[in-house]
Each structure stands twice: as C-alpha cells, then as structure tokens.
Structure 1
C-alpha cells in the first residue's frame, strides 16, 4: 500500500510507463531545441570482461549477479589454425556477450525492478513478475526516450572532483543548481567513478548519492527519468547497502511510487567538463520482453 503522494492511477489504471507519459510529441520537439552545437557525447561505461568490471560479487546487493562475459566464438586464430573460409575466401568474426545489467554496467531499471508489498508500480500485482519475465512494467514498455537533459553537477558546485562516500545530496543543493521542467531527465553527477581508477576497494567502501528528500523533490518536479553515475541512485554504506528504511528508499520513491525510470552507472566526466546547462538526452533500452532492466548507451547532444 502506498501512503504518500504518488503517480498510481495518474496515467490510467493500466499504465506501465510512468512519467515517460509526459514525453508527448510537443515536449520532445521542445526538448530538441536544447541542442546548439550538435556535439554528441557517449555517457555509457564500457562493458568489460569479468576481470575488470566494477562489480565484485562480495558486495551484498550484487550477489547472484554474474559479471559480464565477452568471448569470441569465431576469430582470426581459427582461420590461422586451419578453419575454412566461407565461400571464396570470406572470413568472419563473431562474438557472444552474457551480461546482467543491474550493477555491472550502465543500465536502465524497469518499473518492475523493485517493489514493497504485493504490488509493483501502479498497483499491478507483483505476482505478474514471473520466472520467465515480468508481464507488467517490463523494460520493453519504455521504447525510446528523447528528452531535455539537465545536469546536476554536484561536485563542481562544491568545488570538488568527486563527492565523499558518505555524502547525501539534499533537495536544497539540487535546487541551487537547476529546476527541472516536467518530462526532463535529471542527470546527477557525483564523480564517484573517478575513484574506480584510484582504488577498487575504495570504490566499494560506500558511495555518495541522492537523499530521500532529493528524490521526492525530483518526483515533485515530474522528471521522466533520473540518471546518475553511481551504482544505486541513492548512497551506499560500507556494506554496499542503503541506510534508508523502506519509506525513504530511493528506488521505492522513484520507481515504485512515482513510475520514474532510473539509469545507473553513467560516465559523466566528459559531460561535466563541457558543463552544459541543458542538452538533448537520448536513450533506448534493449527490447527485452519482461526484462527488469537493460544495458543502455545514453547520449547527450549538446
């Protein structure tokens, strides 16, 4: 049962897209005017093999999530060893990728990803999330997202390279930086991925993130998506867990109660250096029927 302001029923009893419904054709066309130079920035982390992925299985909320596996099924060595080319000398290289999106690479959470009680977003029965996939609020409901992006570069505002691990971003601090319009994508830079290059252990010793009041502030401004460069939108403690109770959990505030999709583990350093006040944000998840999330490559068009 939801006991605080929420978006259940706002877009109809059968809604599975949440605040993405705010991205009407008129809103999308208006968002396109945020681009002024045409420069395109890739905001995704690279998908690396298991030996270099920033997702150790010792972190509690990542247990059971296999690290990315990328391997070649056919490569040049096969032909050097005597494999026959296809047809008249044509050679081909093929590879395979196994990836669990949550916590292992840049990804978007579906509205079915997290809930409390017996219902996912909008009152759909949680029992509809089955062993073969979610039959309500799966990632395939997203389609494509084209919106105005607003960068909240919190470290730059405070004169830091990155936020400390125990820092929780307040609503007041977000308000000092910018005020989003309905349908905007709020892009939150903590700078924490810089720590990965310095120390793997420090990276997972806790993480900065949004506070509960900041999540509610963004929800009250009707953002369509919240995207951040940390692993969980909210902060993590030294055990890799959120300190908030269920009432203040960021995933429950945004995904479950307000139908706001989340994108985590972005690479925002180039965007932060460019320092745009606004830009065009473009992303589309893989069309995984019943998926709880998907790897994504968000783009910022300046």
Structure 2
C-alpha cells in the first residue's frame, strides 16, 4: 500500500453516501474529469524527473500494424499515401482508424459502471452521446498530459521461473499475491500516484504466434474473447489496486484483466474506469523496456504520455515514452 496517504481506503469508499459502493465519485469534486490522474501533482512530476540518469528513451506504442486485423469487430486501419502536385508532396490518410485498435488508453467514457449504468462521476450515456458535451472526454487527459513516475512489474519474466507452464495466450489469472511477489523480487516499492506497467508477455507472444493461434485472437467478438493472461477479477484485486493509489494502469495484453471475462460487464473495466476514473492502457509495447530493466535492475522511471486532444473522445493511442 502507498504510505502516508490521505486518501480513503477501498473499504472506506464511497466518500459520497449516495454513490455506488466502493466508487470514488466526488472525491475530487462533482465536476471532476480526471479521476485518479489528479494524483499526478506537480511535486510528483518534479520528483519523477530525478529518475532520469542515462537519457535512454523507450517508446511504448506498439506498431500500428499490430494486431494485424481489427479486434472486437473494430475496423483495421488502412494507410493511404496521397501524392500532391505530382510526386513533389505527400500526405497520408489513416482510413478506418480506431483509437483502440492497437496500443491505447481506454478513457473514462469507454465502459460504464455495471451496478448503475452510469460512467465516472455519475455521467450518463446521454451526456456522452451529446456531441456538445465534453464531460469526462479524453481531451481532459490530453490537455493535462499523463506524466509522472512509472514502475514496471515484469510478471512474464518472473513467471519463467515461478510458473513454468505459463503462457500469455492462456487464461491465467494474476493474483495480488503474485504481484507482491514480483514487486519484492524486483525490489519495487510503490508510491501514491504511480503509473503501473504490467508485462504479461502478450505482445511478445503475439509476435511469435503460430498460425493456429491467429484465428481465435483476431476479430474476436465480445463474449468470444481469446484466452489471455491478466489480472484476476476479484475484490482482492480491486482492494489492492485502489489501496496503492495508482494514477493509471497499463498492460501489454488486450484487456488488463484475464480473458475471457468472468463477467464482461462487471470486471476491472467497470470499477477502474467508471468507479474510480482510472485510465487503463492496453497493448503497450514493453519488451525493450523490460529487457533493459532486467539488465540494470531499475524498474522505476520517468513516464510521459500525450493522448489525442479530441474533444469528447473515448480513447486514444498513448504516445507514451519512458526515460531512464
């Protein structure tokens, strides 16, 4: 748990007695649009800059070609290069571009709280569908940026020794006890406002996939999701995540939680996004960073992310960088 926090614990939520159980609605004000990103205070950003010592930069966006077909019935992006004035000038167009087709932040408009049907801070679906209403849109994340201290938990590397039959393409539930074990193994201590990066090994596994792996992974429909390792759906997980007071969580898998969902409408998406206003990152490319961390033993670093500044947006590529 984060030390010296003035925030309520999971079991002390909600702060508003009229809010659904264990939600953070109203914690940062009735009109808040940032949720747990409020924890990335200026002093924490300044402190995070002290982690830069070598100047090595790690880009965490996976290539837009991956996955190489749209998932969840989303369109795959078509890249068109347009010549202008003969071959003297070129533009490009991304046709059918979906912000959640590859590396992404799921914003606070993405998934409702299953117990109420509302989104973070009691936002309604009607408000989200109103093109003039920007409540909890991704532009709020973009206009303040996501900058601070990030820590990596390399579960996949730890599992090579401790879970010999581990495969990121199976439905493996990562428990809070395992998260604590990985943190202890790496010498990681958490601080309030950390951005947690979780490596399951999914993107690495995808890039060396066998032909027979491809079909169930691509073009999956909700309820027919492919098997994937991820966080265990449980109240213990909710309590562990909230009590560490992370600003955001990003993983290299396709759903953060283990897939298929036990309940696709009541899992981590529901509580993290709409209960707490915590952005969720998916399909972050963590391979080069994880390899470097294994070599130098440093699992904390300066992190920055600039989501798309689109008024009312639901999600965005992360445009994320780590600097060590």
Same fold, TM exceeding 0.5? yes
Segments of 5+ residues of structure 1 without an aligned counterpart are 86-90
SS for the counterpart of 2:284 is coil
Take 1:97 and 1:46, find their aligned partners in 2: how far apart are those partners?
14
The corresponding residue for 2:99 is 101
Whether the aligned pair in 1 keeps the contact of 2:308 and 2:316 (CA below 8 Å) is yes
Take 1:207 and 1:201, find their aligned partners in 2: how far apart are those partners?
15
Shift of 1:107: 1.0
Take 2:316 and 2:117, find their aligned partners in 1: how far apart are those partners?
24
Could you say if the C-alpha distance between residues 111 and 200 of structure 1 is closer, same or farther in structure 2, counting changes exceeding 3 Å? farther
The corresponding residue for 2:181 is 176
The corresponding residue for 2:7 is none
Take 2:212 and 2:270, find their aligned partners in 1: how far apart are those partners?
28
Whether the aligned pair in 2 keeps the contact of 1:54 and 1:200 (CA below 8 Å) is no
The corresponding residue for 1:132 is 131
Residue 221 (structure 2) pairs with residue 202 (structure 1): no
Q: Superposed, which structure 2 residues align to 1:140-179 within 5 Å?
A: 140-142=139-141, 143=143, 144-159=145-160, 163=168, 165-178=170-183, 179=189
The corresponding residue for 1:255 is 273
Whether the aligned pair in 1 keeps the contact of 2:39 and 2:247 (CA below 8 Å) is yes
Residue 285 (structure 2) pairs with residue 267 (structure 1): yes
Whether the aligned pair in 2 keeps the contact of 1:174 and 1:214 (CA below 8 Å) is no
Shift of 1:55: 5.6
Take 1:200 and 1:20, find their aligned partners in 2: how far apart are those partners?
40
Shift of 1:31: 1.4
Take 2:265 and 2:19, find their aligned partners in 1: how far apart are those partners?
11
Could you say if the C-alpha distance between residues 200 and 101 of structure 1 is closer, same or farther in structure 2, counting changes exceeding 3 Å? farther
Could you say if the C-alpha distance between residues 97 and 13 of structure 1 is closer, same or farther in structure 2, counting changes exceeding 3 Å? same
Could you say if the C-alpha distance between residues 100 and 131 of structure 1 is closer, same or farther in structure 2, counting changes exceeding 3 Å? farther
Could you say if the C-alpha distance between residues 200 and 97 of structure 1 is closer, same or farther in structure 2, counting changes exceeding 3 Å? farther
Shift of 1:206: 1.2
SS for the counterpart of 1:159 is helix
Match of 1:92 among 75, 89, 95: 89
Cα deviation per residue 1:139-163 (whole Å; 9 max; x = unaligned)?
0010311110110100111226853
Take 2:106 and 2:264, find their aligned partners in 1: how far apart are those partners?
20
Shift of 1:38: 1.4
SS for the counterpart of 1:112 is coil
SS for the counterpart of 2:213 is helix
Query: How many pairs does the alignment contain?
Result: 276
The corresponding residue for 1:28 is 45
